[in-house]
Amino acid sequence: MISKHKEENEVYVDETNISQREAFAKFEELAVEVEKKWRKIQHDEALRLFREEMKKEEYTNPSERNEVYEKLKQEQTDVYQKRREVFQQLIDVNGENVRKNKFDKLLESIKELNDVAQATYDKKFEELLALHNNLEAQLKSIREDLQYRLEDFAAELEGTTVQEILDSKVKFNF
């Protein structure tokens, strides 16, 4: 009788061990799937937050750039007005009484206005280029941060690299 109970206990223990191994294997499979889904969610969230950040006014239409454009527009208007004044003086000059000296002074005024205008435009375009380069550096830094986050999550890497994902989903036109 004891041997019968012993055999029944051994069968029970063997069945329980098999059942536990099967349950643990299913648990491991489920844990792997849950982790993949979690990584995918984190990956998608990182991309969403990045895109949301890139839609901000400070990247799409920076106020500093707008200020430079407004100043440039004002300076162009000022130069235009000064040129009109000089041209009006030319129009008002009586052709019969004009002297070469007067005409040369007006011509020199126009040349000086052109030089001042060009220097001003060059300065403003240098400011714009500096703003652009600064913004480009900021965006590259943000993109690198995104790359590190995506590498941490390693969600969509089946056959692709993080760099390939970034190249296909995160594009900058510098």
- pLDDT by residue (tens digit) across 115-174? 999 999 999 999 999 999 999 999 889 888 888 888 877 755 566 666 666 666 666 555
Instruction: Report how far residue 106's alpha carbon sits from residue 100's, in angstroms, rounded to the nearest whole number.
Output: 10
Provide the token pair at 31. 């844990």
Q: Contact at 8 Å (CB) between 139 and 59?
A: yes
Cα(18)–Cα(25) distance, rounded to whole angstroms?
10
Report pTM.
0.65
pLDDT at 103: 78
State pLDDT tens for residues 66-84: 999 999 999 999 999 999 9
**To 5 degrees, how large is the angle CA 168–CA 171–CA 174?**
150
| Residues 6+ positions from 140 with CB-CB distance below 8 Å | 172
Residue 173: closest CA among 148, 142, 128, 139: 139
Say whether pLDDT at 35 is over 80: yes
Residue 70's Cβ-count burial label (10 Å; 0-12, 13-18, 19+) is exposed
pLDDT digits (tens, 9 = 90+) for 2-23: 787 888 888 899 899 999 999 9
Structure confidence by residue, pLDDT tens digits, 82-123: 999 988 887 887 767 767 788 788 889 999 999 999 999 999
